[in-house]
Amino acid sequence: MKQNQWMSLLGLANRARKVISGEELSIKEVRSNKAKLVLLSADASQNTQKKVTDKCKSYNIPCKIVENRFLLGQAIGKEARVVVAVLDEGFAKKLKTLLD
């Protein structure tokens, strides 16, 4: 059940335009400290995983792993997505509790 909760919450955040997807864009938001939470799919390439988690660590932004790129994409009504950044503190907080 929890899976659907985080997915519908992410969908809500997306409709509120508080979500950015894609590796480059997400990293840009991390760098500018706008990202409050980064979601990374478990099936991202080693390279992408390392790049994203290192970047999040150095900017002190929480990073959560979700099952796969299809769920992540589906949650925001897109094709497969490997990296999604949440730009809203409220949504980020709630998503973190759902994904813990």
Position 69 scores a pLDDT of 97
* Residue ranges of domains in the chain: 2-99
Q: Mutual orientation of helices 2-15 and 89-99 as an angle, nearest 10°?
A: 170
Q: Check pLDDT > 50 for residue 34.
A: yes
Name the one residue in this structure whose structure tokens are 């950015």.
Answer: 20
Query: What is the distance between the alpha carbons of residues 52 and 30, in angstroms, rounded to a whole number?
Result: 9
The model's confidence at residue 1, banded by pLDDT at 50, 70 and 90, is: very low
Mean pLDDT of 19-40: 97
Return the amino acid letter for 15.
R
Could you tell me the fold of the domain covering 2-99? 60s Ribosomal Protein L30; Chain: A; (3.30.1330)
Reported as a single tens digit per residue, the pLDDT across 45-83 is 999 999 999 999 999 999 999 999 999 999 999 999 999
CA angle 41, 92, 81 (to 5 degrees): 25
